[in-house]
Chains A and B, each alone.
Chain A
């Protein structure tokens, strides 16, 4: 199957090695535990595994069959066929990390272009070759800030409207740092205006992190928060949705020093949560503090343009215990997918997708607000997600919607006690007007009036 050895070859190789059987190669392994019998299902042929997994996957209700109004950090968008066609090329997906630049220019230039696309999209000066996902990108921003101030500024302020999974990940990542204090996010009212962060910012603050649009889909201008952060000498980080930046002004315009975010909306399938793509871009001043891989342009010995992994001396394999992060692999293939996606959509296409999301979400919000018992809580400007207060428990509502082939919104009460009866509805270009109208009809069935 995947091992090509014939019996004759095996014998010949054993003779060359000078042992009489393969077992002889494992004498260093304690005899007592050598060659355990593993209790695994009997092996399957390609035909059998294909049948098994087709059956299993058919047991799922995917967004190919369901109407999806669920977002909350992962979004259903259209992926042009060309994206998978490129990332399915063996030259890309069966290559390793481009440590040997002479035979890895394809990967290296693709990453360089990815860095460039994200820098242009976010308005930043530099971007790394990616982190694991949006959550770990935020955690890495916190670690960057800690290292930037050499541990002298303990306070990391997270906005309460930063994705709750990101906040949890930051807490996990920093539990070994005695000199980091995570604050700002555990408030009674997660919907309070970002201006309430301002009073927390002081000279002990290393970093303020906000989300744009925020977890609830709302759009704020964070200029004031950024200004106060900077006045206090702190860094300001913004977690973005890259599709929204097709329409909205980039965080560089309101003072971001670091832009992070979940890159999944850029041509990466939902795939039950991964693999995704952690965006990480900064201003020039922080370039040397960025963890993870970076690709830089240079020339070869004949003067020809080429690309290499650069600033590697910051990384774990050289700095070892003095490195600020242990990150090693990036999301190479996902970064490539997002580059192909952005290249295909370009200036006009990304704007168009963002507008479709915006318009359809606003249409949906308008329609839902006419259903008795339901009300749209989001009053401030929003992008493609909004909060709906429901007359019935959200879990019950979602079960009912699922029976009608609809994936309902995220149940906010599972994370925010004060939003017990609320759900977060996401609408993208994938939802047609008919979908939205059907969704509203089913909500009407659930309205208690």
Chain B
């Protein structure tokens, strides 16, 4: 059954919500500015609830089952996070209220800044960026501002290993940098010779993802950082894979100068079908002054009787704000809740079990699939989704077939340095039985690929819709629908 659109369900005259009548003497409306028609659908509340409930049934989600999307850290989203973010004192404060009236929220943000600094080893954190890519962009602008402040305007080159996250090149380019890719060596580390060769006086820095998108911790990380620093560049750490490092190592200790956090990956804030995310940025001491403001600080120290007064401050050479207001406060509440419930030991356990789960799953599928970089992985690993003896089976077919086994497929076709990549991240919240059954499905599919490949080519078989015509979507470009009475 195809669910009708909300426009097709409209019935003129219906209303889903009633408002009170105007209780003040009225003023004439400005006739010349009034709109003639407001072409919105008309439904009763029950119509709306049923419609969206029907739609919800067409989705796969973490609540439903295993979601091993590499690089996305689809861990379980604790319900207490949701309850905390909805506390009226948090959910219903205006961002421009006097600071005296929002001390609770500011205290939470301040404490979250402190926690993130401690977890990752940075001198200061700004909670403002809205998402991972937004944090990256912010971080790269901070690197630019730093070089400009030193008069080093010739530093226009950003080094990006080919094992780094996909957004990095665009974030650099948007900031005015030229992108120089750096190759990966046979063990999946940054190729040091290539790095040395690229490090000249025009280097602004490197954007490194560690563990990288192969799920491998760079064995020469200190050397990589040292080479870039010696060339006068800064080191950007893509924090998307921080889940593997909690309590294991602090990026700041390694010498990383600036990094974004993905609260929606590492600290369990939900993905929401594509967002909102939250991408705070942490920096070393020398970059503090460039952070986007406002940042939460103590503006009056407290004492035995009085708690401190929290307020805002603007770093002195701030790149400026990167969005409205304070960032995604609702996500800050969720992340704060999550970190508080774990403490230092609990966070380390998160990373340890995420890495154990990945290695355990890898041990079960090794042999059935090609593993281009075979060593102990961190929180994720990358397989080749292809078989030499059945060349017409692709990673996409394996991904689609997994849906028939009631699993969400892994990330496919990324990273680009692996042919037909299948990038698998189980996360720490999955139990052994789930991982065992996923491994079994993967092994079954490898067998099916050889014995009855049409099962893969035609997959998925039991989903609400089957493979969709993406060419038609891009050519015909139907991006909106209209009320039946307004359609041509």
Contact = CB atoms under 8 A, between A and B. Distances in A.
Chains A and B touch each other in the complex, with CB atoms below 8 Å apart: yes
Contacts of A169: 320-324
Contact of A49 (B43, B216, B271, B340): B340
A58 B104 CA distance: 7
B133 A327 contact: yes
B415 to A, nearest CB: 11
A340 B62 contact: no
Given A219-B30, A273-B329, A287-B479, A102 B359 contact: no
B186 interface: no
Interface residues of A, number: 204
A23 to B, nearest CB: 8
A230 interface: no
Contact of A249 (B33, B102, B137, B271): B33
B5 A95 contact: no
A213 to B, nearest CB: 10
Given A91-B56, A133-B130, A323-B173, A344 B473 contact: no
Contacts of A56: 89, 104-105, 107-108
B465 A102 contact: yes
Contacts of A25: 352, 355-356, 359, 376
A322 interface: yes
Interface string B302-343: 000000000000000001111111111111010011011111
A272 B294 CA distance: 13
A163 B325 CA distance: 12
Interface in A119-165: 119-121, 125-127, 129-130, 132-136, 143, 163, 165
Interface stretch (A174-182, A193-201, A369-377): A174-182
A53 B333 contact: yes
B61 interface: yes
Nearest to B254: A33
Interface stretch (A59-67, A183-191, A202-210, A441-449): A59-67
Contacts of A117: 6, 40-41
Given A102-B403, A328-B131, A28 B216 contact: yes
Interface centre among B277, B319, B326 (most CB of A within 10 A): B277
A113 B35 contact: no
A396 to B, nearest CB: 11
Contacts of A390: none
Contacts of B327: 273-274
A29 B249 contact: yes
A10 B132 CA distance: 32
Nearest to A22: B352
Chain B, interface SS category: loop
Given A70-B96, A93-B272, A332-B275, A269 B91 contact: yes
B273 A35 contact: no
B299 interface: no
Given A10-B356, A13-B432, A360-B24, A136 B467 contact: no
B69 interface: yes
Contacts, number: 673
Contact of A30 (B14, B221, B360): B221
B9 to A, nearest CB: 9
B175 interface: yes
Interface residues of B, number: 203
B2 A304 contact: yes
B260 to A, nearest CB: 12
B24 A436 contact: yes
B237 interface: no
B70 to A, nearest CB: 11
B51 interface: yes
Contacts of B36: 249
A448 B345 CA distance: 60
Contacts of A127: 479-480
Interface in A76-115: 76, 78, 80, 82, 84-86, 88-98, 100-107, 109-113, 115
Given A331-B275, A355-B22, A363-B24, A301 B467 contact: yes
Given A60-B90, A63-B92, A326-B133, A271 B275 contact: no
B469 A344 contact: no
B238 to A, nearest CB: 12
A132 B272 contact: no
A310 B325 contact: no
Contacts of A345: 16-17, 40
A295 interface: yes
Interface centre among A95, A98, A129 (most CB of B within 10 A): A95
Nearest to A432: B23
B464 interface: yes
B196 interface: no
A285 interface: no
Contacts of A355: 22, 29
A36 B253 contact: yes
Contacts of A348: 15, 42
Interface in B261-308: 264, 268, 270-278, 292
Nearest to B59: A106
A298 B273 contact: no
Contact of A287 (B19, B57, B477): B477
12 contacts: A4-B429, A55-B104, A60-B105, A61-B93, A62-B92, A98-B273, A247-B35, A262-B324, A272-B95, A332-B276, A343-B43, A399-B98
> Which 6 A-B residue pairs are closest in the complex by CB-CB distance?
A273-B325, A57-B89, A43-B343, A176-B176, A273-B95, A333-B272
